[in-house]
Structure 1
């Protein structure tokens, strides 16, 4: 079920580059409480087991059973100097009246802790310094390059859409061509059958004419025989019977001749109508096919072996870039809202389907924090309240 859901959501982001996807992922991940935190087991002067969390914003102190919510924090802006001697780590604050922040860590971890602290502190201070002219130019060039790549991606996506539309149009045209060709074939087949039937009817007509001629001859012979007998005044019983039989035969043949003639006439009319309809259908089908082929050849429809693409965009200028930026911002806001709705739905489904595990301590802590209306940033703002001395004293009493 989740695999099918993920496939559908993955298709929603079709056309997004790998860099954009990673950035969108990090925008969501950075709001998690444990994102970007490197944890180290430490002890304070009271030998309490604690965790030191080295982050991009400062140093956090966690209790042993809760890596989610820090107990106190020391921002990089308050820290002046960092050093260690064997297992002892010493941090000096900008506030000279505050005591040193001292903790003890495993001997092999001090060098790693020092490197992480120095690196994060340097990056923190660098982000807050005004950019030099060279850096500003580099950022401007990077921004222009990003916009150029975005415009190029939009152009490629637009061309791809047009190409797909041309492919669909071509498939539809080919389908219509096959349909018209099939109509012409069926019309020709019907015309052929009608012509064969007309020939058969003509043959039957000739046979009927011969039969009618024969029947007429027999009727004439019977009539002559009847006249002859009447003239000879033959009155014998046998001759009367013979005369009556000949008369009935002549009447039967005459009636049969009339009936056959009527049937032949009706069949001839029906076949004539079918022949006319078949020729009309053939004419219409051929007209459709010729009209379709002429439209394709004159260019009113795209050719079957080509794609109609929009002309290349001119070189981007400032106004164009500003429009692209605004369009990208609006699209990003819409996508973010949609993505947030999807994540909320997913969280609700997880909460219903999840089986509680014995070691899900962090999940329970996160749920309690969410019920209290706290998040990562509100917790850090609350912990920064008060002076460095107050927070240091709180740490030493843990």
Structure 2
């Protein structure tokens, strides 16, 4: 998929390549273009209005993964211009909803989340147990192929598909044909589901996985023990180095008074009884880790507060349009 327009290049422009999980976009930006300008251009191109979940991820000159800042010029953010493809960015979810069904309105937003979460599960970045993996695979097949048809879905058709995490496959002494039959059994039950309905069912199961929507950062505590801090839609979690599934400590957003950092030190100040506050200190190897950590904390906290207020007119309008569109498609299908 290409951008809807191509302009003649000038010496004051530079090429940009933007990847999503199912397409690539190409633009030419003026040297003074900001991250926000590029971001808005992408959102308009793909028709995305729920912009607050997403960001642009890239690898900078030093090899660090970074989020593009919206208020700064693109070229002022240590972009690697030596790449023959130009500036390459990944358009992806930076923040996650608390409840996918209640919060994700547009079909394009749901589709973006579906593709990203599916990739995270299949690459084993997000742990998914075997039974859930098979069920999720069946929804992914329904989303891709539509209703199960024995004449079309011949034996061996799903074997070449990447549908299950390798960890799950290695856990059992089962042939590819046996896995295919397990997936087909569930797949046949999803008859009548549209693509967006199958993707939403996938997300509803995925959001209950322990690692869904958690951004992990390696840090050390005051005892110099290596731990992970996980930033989520609901707050901060602290995990042992050996267990990224079950947090040993949680700091809900409504109990956090202040978050800050000073160089490599990261501070979490929580509310206590009688109006007192307690500060917990963590240490990162690099100050840049704390910058990204704070950025994710601020963004997640803002969305947490936003969810607890009445919907804006924009969101009410989006929900009404989405409801009408879904009703129209339902009538067309039947």
TM-score, shorter chain, exceeding 0.5: no
Larger Rg: 1
- Greater strand content: 2
The one of the two structures with greater contact order (alpha-carbon pairs below 8 A, sep at least 6) is: 1
The TM-score normalised by the length of structure 2 is 0.42
